[in-house]
């Protein structure tokens, strides 16, 4: 059996960044030893990677199938503008172009150290790429559209593929009955885009750009009686379900408390700050989530609204959070949300989380810099 002994300047062990740690891994990628040594130089056959050693990361919100839209939509169009632009450019690409872009994005994510992804799909085009990938994908086939009136097609897609299920897109894009059906079709994880912009809440008060767009198109909504997006979620989803709530940029203390009180299952907020920057220039209220002791994880969203799928790029946009905590968002917290913490998300004996080095960090102040990048070792 070949073993590799690996060290960096720092290693993320539990929630701490520690020095002088040697991690030993066998050829099945399982961690078989972690020990602190006085002097790394005296350790025989050690592979030293300058930087910070972390476990493989979990991207808790991605749309791999939209990778072909990289650079196609202007930054700063705002929320409704972005939704309209996607509709306008979506059909300008061939199947081959879409597949090539998704395949390249999958390879880059692997090389950057992504170990597992919760991926949102509207069709089966990229399923082959995901099934052949070294990354572990969980796919949620997403119900979308005010005119959508059956979940059957999505249910059949989910039945044809392992590690897949169905989910509603958001509280503004599906009528009442379909939203409820999408949430009760099975017992898997549910992931909803929630409170990404002011327009979502304003829709329930008949204001904002979403309401104006729907009005122009003649689209009616039968769900506005819930009053707010978070109340709709609480009143439509079984409290025992595990949910991943995506974005939360406009979540208030009241929304977070309401959802915490409702759900007994696990609630994870998947923040995608690069996508929020790209579309609207707004930031998720990280302090509110931290104060509420929420499980916070990170997602990349898609290349339609992000310059990259790098979780390091996303971490860099979050202010005033210690690096060790940011790293836990991208690793163990995401693994917990997917129920994969038994074997992923942490450098711990017996787990096989993959090993990744962050290069170009400021090691004196333990901060990311513009040059910081993640690179897979194992």
Residues near Zn ion (CB under 5 A) are 301
Q: Closest separation between CB of residue 290 and Zn ion, Å?
A: 22
Q: Closest separation between CB of residue 191 and Zn ion, Å?
A: 9
Q: Closest separation between CB of residue 347 and Zn ion, Å?
A: 29
Q: Closest separation between CB of residue 200 and Zn ion, Å?
A: 13
Closer residue to Zn ion in complex, CB, 183/358: 183
Residue 305: phi and psi, rounded to 5, are: -130, 30
Radius of gyration (Cα) for the chain, nearest Å?
A: 21
Alpha carbon distance 276, 281 (integer Å): 6
Residue 367: phi and psi, rounded to 5, are: -135, 155
Q: Closest separation between CB of residue 10 and Zn ion, Å?
A: 32
Angle CA 157–167–127, to nearest 5:
35
Helices assigned H by DSSP within the chain: 79-89, 95-111, 127-132, 152-160, 176-184, 198-203, 208-217, 229-236, 253-262, 273-279, 286-291, 311-316, 323-330, 332-337
Instruction: Give strand pairing partners of 24.
Output: 5, 33
Burial tier of 165 (Cβ tally within 10 Å: 0-12, 13-18, 19+): buried
Closer residue to Zn ion in complex, CB, 305/328: 305
Query: Which residue is at the shortest CB distance from Zn ion?
Result: 301
Closer residue to Zn ion in complex, CB, 10/144: 144
Closer residue to Zn ion in complex, CB, 10/329: 329
Cα-based distances in Å from 169 to 42, 71, 178, 284: 54, 23, 11, 19
Closer residue to Zn ion in complex, CB, 25/109: 109
Alpha carbon distance 20, 344 (integer Å): 22
Closer residue to Zn ion in complex, CB, 276/324: 276
Q: Closest separation between CB of residue 248 and Zn ion, Å?
A: 12
Q: Closest separation between CB of residue 6 and Zn ion, Å?
A: 34
Closer residue to Zn ion in complex, CB, 52/62: 62
Closest CA to 376 of 29, 10, 18, 43: 29
């Amino acid at each position: 059996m070949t073993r590799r002994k690996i060290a960096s300047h720092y290693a993320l062990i539990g929630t701490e960044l520690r020095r002088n740690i040697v991690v030993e891994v066998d050829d099945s990628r399982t961690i078989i030893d972690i020990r602190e040594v006085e002097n790394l130089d005296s350790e025989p056959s050690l592979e030293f990677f300058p930087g910070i050693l972390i476990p493989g990361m979990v991207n808790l919100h991605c749309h791999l199938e939209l990778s072909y839209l990289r650079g196609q939509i202007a930054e700063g169009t705002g929320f409704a503008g972005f939704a309209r632009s996607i509709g306008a450019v979506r059909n300008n690409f061939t199947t081959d172009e879409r597949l090539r872009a998704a395949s390249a994005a999958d390879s880059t994510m692997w090389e950057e150290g992504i170990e597992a992804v919760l991926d949102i799909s509207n069709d089966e085009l990229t399923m082959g790429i995901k099934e052949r990938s070294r990354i572990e994908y969980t796919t949620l086939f997403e119900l979308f559209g005010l005119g959508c009136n059956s979940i059957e097609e999505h249910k059949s897609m989910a039945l044809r593929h392992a590690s897949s299920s169905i989910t509603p897109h958001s509280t503004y894009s599906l009528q009442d009955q379909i939203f409820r059906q999408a949430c009760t079709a099975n017992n898997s994880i549910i992931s909803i885009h929630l409170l990404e912009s002011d327009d979502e809440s304003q829709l329930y008060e008949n204001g904002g750009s979403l309401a104006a767009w729907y009005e122009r198109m003649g689209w009616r909504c039968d769900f506005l009686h819930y009053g707010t997006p978070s109340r709709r979620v609480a009143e439509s989803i079984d409290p025992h379900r595990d949910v991943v709530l995506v974005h939360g940029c406009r979540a208030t203390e009241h929304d977070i408390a309401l959802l915490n009180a409702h759900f007994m299952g696990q609630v994870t907020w998947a923040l995608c700050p690069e996508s929020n920057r790209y579309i609207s220039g707004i930031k998720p209220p990280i302090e509110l989530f931290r104060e509420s002791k929420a499980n916070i994880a990170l997602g990349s969203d898609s290349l339609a609204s992000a310059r990259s799928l790098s979780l390091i790029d996303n971490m860099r946009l979050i202010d005033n959070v210690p690096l060790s905590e940011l790293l836990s968002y991208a690793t163990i917290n995401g693994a917990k949300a997917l129920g994969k913490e038994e074997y992923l998300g942490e450098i711990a004996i017996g787990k096989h989380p993959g090993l990744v080095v962050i290069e170009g960090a400021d090691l004196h102040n333990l901060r990311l810099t513009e040059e910081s990048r993640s690179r897979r070792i194992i």
